[in-house]
Chain A
């Protein structure tokens, strides 16, 4: 049972949340999505990262807010959570 730190409510158990998959996927503007390739990228393709991944999480049985989380998909360790619109925090040791 993961312990997830909702940026609005604090640490709460996993059962209060729903994972919304990979984060920071920009919904293309109508003109940008004219070509099939870029729309397919948006609609179907995900990184499927083994390691640290930015995700959307929804505190559905809590404040109902969506937020972002950096989670290691291998260990389930959460490195950080942050609000929608905020930039991902720099992680110690991360390349970017």
Chain B
């Protein structure tokens, strides 16, 4: 395909590099441009205005701005699979070789969009149409209306594949952050960075610093050309080591306590990004923020104001001066102020014919009138545009005299581009995000910053100062500069407040919000229908929503609402500006935190050993735990049965390293634990251990584990795997805030110890040869005791404890010795096999040992789970003591722990299943409780279950029913112990 020529590109002017041509594609068609172009400027250079279809009506839309406020020109950028992004603004996408961009929201094509019919059907799409039109019948909504609406309206489509790019996070601090590097921001940075001790950040969202100076080529500052002044200033700034300059960086969020989120686009503009990340998200904490964010130009609201080729006047200037693109040869400028007269002069000089339609009467205008006339512009004062023509591009505008002008019939003016100027809107978005209050300035028809709430200060156009010299001085002073004035060329001024005006009745739609297709009529309807608050009008009409957050539309919408309500804009108020200022990619927020980096994986010291032994792992919190050890040809059930039987008949080895471990030291360690635990801890002798329960103040079970006393003032306690962090926090809270007088210290040591549990009748026989410095004989080391010594020469804390009901030990050695000791134990006799968490669960259920969080759900008391016997007889105070006395805790009929045996021994119940008295009762029927644990027990050779059942302790022997997906299981309630009810084996 032959590229179309750059028919609108000038030979001179602009900051593009004509020696570096480039080619990208738009809807597959090659487009040529130069280094320094944006996609928008290159398209305009080719005379291409039509770049998209509107949200609801599918009207042809073009580029209207030159910056990030662009509501219309949203394109999909395709950099290959996994690198597609919808809704990019053509005005900020940098053109580069190989770039592929596509228009959105049309079918079958951009120039022929079948859904343009919506424009004719528009009565049904008026304000609130979603709420009114598709409400009946209800069942049509999901199947018919919603898919239809979703297809017909909308912006780009979300990509369907994972993002392949890399994103970085950075954190930084500075004394002064300057947002925006226009004249005010540059002056502020120059002043603030004079002191080399002051760390200053200057950030700007554009590709280069300078803001409006970049297209104010003819302006002069202090006797220099503006661009020369800019270059000199940037050289000064670059030489200062205390200054960080970031271009392509958007300050998108103003968070609490002066934390600013910055999105830096690092490599999208590079054809070969090499090793660079795509974007970098900065979290910058600033002592003081100087907001020099400039102002957005306000469109005029007139019928057909959305035709491609109708741009903001200042943007036409930017395309001309910054990119060497003359948007139209026959230019009409519609204005209510003096600002665009500068464009008129510049466009004239570039060879365009210019007609100015100024709302103002001649006596309301200034010297700009004479200057433009002298330059050969046609000037029509007291004139407004009341209609436009053209499909893909504006071809003519209809103009009519207004207020006080001699009446005449509207007439048509041929044109190929229109610049509109409805005043400027100070960019107060970040200020507003910082919770600063706004004040309405009637003379400029805009909200400006009032009193700041956080440490920030606005400077220049974002607080309604538009003259160049004043902007420079305002920035300089905001930056702390003194003893300096600036001399700069004056800008054409004058402005007629009170807009937007509706000069034509009937006729075409006049758009207020281009992105959401909201017209002036819609705003009128909303007010007619009773919406008074601006926030309600916003939601009802959707004005000011979506990706541009109403940057170009808010003030016009407000003006219309205020006029309709016959009240001042100040009283109408403004909507909340939400972050982000411009869209930020999900990737930037995620940064490196995805895939393996999403959450840390915790592996026990013996992970490698388990892996080598065929372990299948499960996730327990962030831990990887061996679920079972598969042998050749085994199913999981077979492996678990083998492991569990081996423990009861022989000896098994289990990795218990994930258990939380906390050391308690200090003269008051015992007293402290006595208050923390439900149990009586004071009576615990040195060398002995005890099962302990921690409660919350309300009396409910919080965590459980072993309390072992190593020495007079030295305890080693364990917690559940998942509760380790919680328990440590609990201890610290009480130690520091409730009982600071206690001299006790809690040190988390979970990762310091590898814990190898050796369980089974042969456990002692296996361990005895490995242990030195301790006597582990039956007489010397009874059940629930602790000894210190060495295992294979390695320092060791040995606990005689059991979570299986068998004779058992837990060997604690320093973590790094874990694998060696694990191997030594497995090699120290025959028939020793590792077992996983599933077999552990089965065996503890066979014994009726609870798991906190499985049998208990945060509402169970010790008595509920059969541990009421632990209730201390004489303890003055412990956490949960008073809570246990609450009426609810002693109420008869509470759920209690029971065992369940299915009549069908092969029927493993569902955990969480409900239990009822009769299977044939009427639904809904009362639930007696629920199944908490259910397993096939290899040692009982039947299915077993634990459950919490109302009055369960008194129901042993009863037959009840348990829900199944397709019916019921008939079960017997029994005591929650299925193996060794006397509990003699642990003492073996």
Across the interface, name the chain A residue whose C-beta is closest to B877: A30
Interface centre among A1, A56, A65, A84 (most CB of B within 10 A): A1
A39 close to B259 (CB less than 8 A): no
A73 within 8 A of B: no
- How far does the alpha carbon of A29 sit from the alpha carbon of B255 in the complex, in Å? 42
A64 within 8 A of B: yes
- Which of B875-899 touch A at CB < 8 Å? 876-877, 881-883, 886-887
B732 within 8 A of A: yes
Across the interface, name the chain B residue whose C-beta is closest to A27: B738
B435 close to A75 (CB less than 8 A): yes
A33 within 8 A of B: yes
Chain B residues near A9 (CB-CB < 8 A):
none
A58 close to B732 (CB less than 8 A): yes
Chain A residues near B435 (CB-CB < 8 A):
75
Question: Given A30-B881, A33-B882, does the pair A1, B733 have CB atoms closer than 8 Å?
Answer: no
B844 within 8 A of A: no
A75 close to B453 (CB less than 8 A): yes
Across the interface, name the chain A residue whose C-beta is closest to B741: A85
- Which of A1-58 touch B at CB < 8 Å? 1-3, 13-14, 18, 20, 27-30, 33, 36, 39, 42-43, 56, 58
Chain A residues near B737 (CB-CB < 8 A):
20, 56, 66, 84
Size of the A side of the interface (Cβ < 8 Å), in residues, is 26
A39 close to B882 (CB less than 8 A): yes
Chain B residues near A42 (CB-CB < 8 A):
697
Question: Given A27-B738, A84-B740, does the pair A43, B698 have CB atoms closer than 8 Å?
Answer: yes
Q: How large is the interface on B (under 10, 10 to 19, 20 to 34, 35 or more residues)?
A: 20 to 34
B729 close to A60 (CB less than 8 A): yes
Chain A residues near B283 (CB-CB < 8 A):
1
Across the interface, name the chain B residue whose C-beta is closest to A29: B877
Chain B residues near A56 (CB-CB < 8 A):
737
B285 within 8 A of A: yes
Question: A-facing mask of B737-774, CB < 8 A → 1, else 0?
Answer: 11010000000000000000000000000000000000
- Which of B164-217 touch A at CB < 8 Å? none
8 Å CB contact of A2 from B257, B453, B732, B881? B257
- How far does the alpha carbon of A88 sit from the alpha carbon of B591 in the complex, in Å? 40
Question: A-facing mask of B704-736, CB < 8 A → 1, else 0?
Answer: 000000000000000000000000010011001
Question: B-facing mask of A63-96, CB < 8 A → 1, else 0?
Answer: 0111000000001100000001100000000000
8 Å CB contact of A66 from B255, B698, B732, B882? B732
A84 close to B736 (CB less than 8 A): yes
- Distance in Å from the Cβ of A84 to the closest Cβ of chain B? 6
B12 within 8 A of A: no
B236 within 8 A of A: no
B256 within 8 A of A: yes
Chain B residues near A18 (CB-CB < 8 A):
729
Chain B residues near A76 (CB-CB < 8 A):
256-257
A20 close to B736 (CB less than 8 A): no
- How far does the alpha carbon of A14 sit from the alpha carbon of B258 in the complex, in Å? 13
Across the interface, name the chain B residue whose C-beta is closest to A66: B736
Across the interface, name the chain A residue whose C-beta is closest to B283: A1
- How far does the alpha carbon of A27 sit from the alpha carbon of B435 in the complex, in Å? 38
Across the interface, name the chain B residue whose C-beta is closest to A68: B737
Across the interface, name the chain B residue whose C-beta is closest to A15: B283
- How far does the alpha carbon of A30 sit from the alpha carbon of B882 in the complex, in Å? 7
A30 close to B698 (CB less than 8 A): no
Question: Given A27-B738, A43-B697, A84-B737, does the pair A3, B257 have CB atoms closer than 8 Å?
Answer: yes
Chain A residues near B285 (CB-CB < 8 A):
1, 3, 13
B736 close to A65 (CB less than 8 A): yes
Chain A residues near B886 (CB-CB < 8 A):
36, 39
- Distance in Å from the Cβ of B437 to the closest Cβ of chain A? 12
A85 close to B698 (CB less than 8 A): no
Chain A residues near B882 (CB-CB < 8 A):
28, 30, 33, 39
Interface set of B (CB-CB < 8 Å, partner A): 255-259, 283, 285, 435, 453, 697-698, 729, 732-733, 736-738, 740, 876-877, 881-883, 886-887
Other CB < 8 Å A-B pairs besides A60-B729, A85-B740, 14 of them? A1-B255, A1-B257, A1-B283, A2-B256, A3-B258, A20-B733, A27-B697, A27-B738, A30-B882, A36-B886, A43-B698, A58-B733, A65-B736, A84-B736
| A/B interface sample: 16 pairs, CB < 8 A | A1-B257, A1-B259, A3-B258, A18-B729, A20-B737, A30-B881, A33-B882, A36-B887, A39-B882, A42-B697, A43-B697, A43-B883, A60-B729, A66-B732, A66-B737, A76-B257
Chain A to chain B: the 9 pairs with minimum beta-carbon distance, closest first: A3-B257, A66-B736, A1-B259, A33-B882, A30-B877, A2-B256, A1-B255, A66-B737, A76-B256
